[in-house]
Amino acid sequence: MFTGLVQGLGTLQSLGVDKLRITCLPAVSGLIMQDLEIGDSVAVDGVCLTVVELLPQGFLADASPETRDRSSLGQEDGTLVNLETSLKVGSKLGGHFVTGHVDGTGQLQGSVQTATSWEMTFTTNQTQVARYIIPKGSIAVNGISLTIADCDPAGTWFTVAVIPHTYAETNLNYLRPGSTVNLEGDILGKYVEKFLRHGTSSGDSRESLTLESLTPTFLAEHGYF
C-alpha cells in the first residue's frame, strides 16, 4: 500500500524480458535505500514492484507480462521514474490509498502554467481506466496522488492542478504532449462499483442495490449519517 506521495526519482533499465534495474538518483538514494530489504515493495511510476536484489544505489525487480502490458515500465531505457516505498504502520497518509496495481495507461494532452499551479490534461481510451474518473475524485498518475479537477462524463479526458513542488520534484515536469503515464483509480471507488453491480447479500435472500436505492433513508439505516 502506498500514499501517492513520491519520495524521489530514479532511472529505469530493462534487463531481458522479465527484470528491471532501478537506480535512485544520488539526491534521494539515502531516503529510498535506508531501510530497503529484499522482498519489500516499491512503487515505480505507480507500479508496485518487489525488490529481488539490492544494488549499491538501487535494486532489481521482476516484471511480469501483465505488468508490462498494463503499464509503461520498460518501454524506454533511461526513463526517469517516480519512487515511493511502501506505507509503514503509523505513517502519515497525506495522499490517498494507492495499491500500485495500475488500471492502465493514458497520455498527456497538454500542460499550462498558471499563477499557482500547472494545469495538466490527460486522455485515455481504456475503459478499465476511464470508468473510475470522476470530478473531484482521486487518481494516481505515475504514482502521484492527484485530485481530478474536471473530466468528461465518459472519463476519456481529465484535468488536474499540480502544485509547483509536486511538479518540480516528480517526473511530471519531464512529460511532453503524447507521453504515456500509468493510471490507477481510487480503490474505494472500485469496491463501491462492485457492490452496486452485484448487490448485497443478507442470509439466504439477496437485496438488489442500485443507484436509485441509495436514498438518505437507506444510508442512515446502514450506518451513514
Look at residues 60, 85, 110 and tell me which one is the last residue of a structural domain: 85
Give the chain's largest Cα–Cα span.
60
128 pLDDT higher than 60 = yes
pLDDT at 143: 97
Cell output for 46? 505507480
Could you tell me if residue 108 is inside a domain? Answer: no
Q: Is residue 20 part of a domain?
A: yes
| pLDDT tens digits along 47-74 | 999 999 999 999 999 998 888 888 999 7
Pairwise CA distance, residues 190 & 81, whole Å: 26
Residue 123 within any structural domain of the chain? no
Closest by Cα among 151, 140, 135, 152 to 95: 140
Average pLDDT over residues 153-164: 96
How many independent structural domains does the chain possess? Answer: 2
Domain end: 23, 50, 85, which one? 85
Is residue 159, in this structure, part of any structural domain at all?
no
Q: Which of 23, 57, 85 is the last residue of a domain?
A: 85
Query: Domain containing 77 — which CATH number?
Result: 2.40.30.20
Q: pTM of the entire structure?
A: 0.85
- 195 has a pLDDT exceeding 90: no
What domain range is 64 assigned to?
Answer: 8-85
In the 8-state DSSP scheme, what is residue 211? G
Helix (H), strand (E) at residue 197? helix 187-198
pLDDT of residue 205: 43
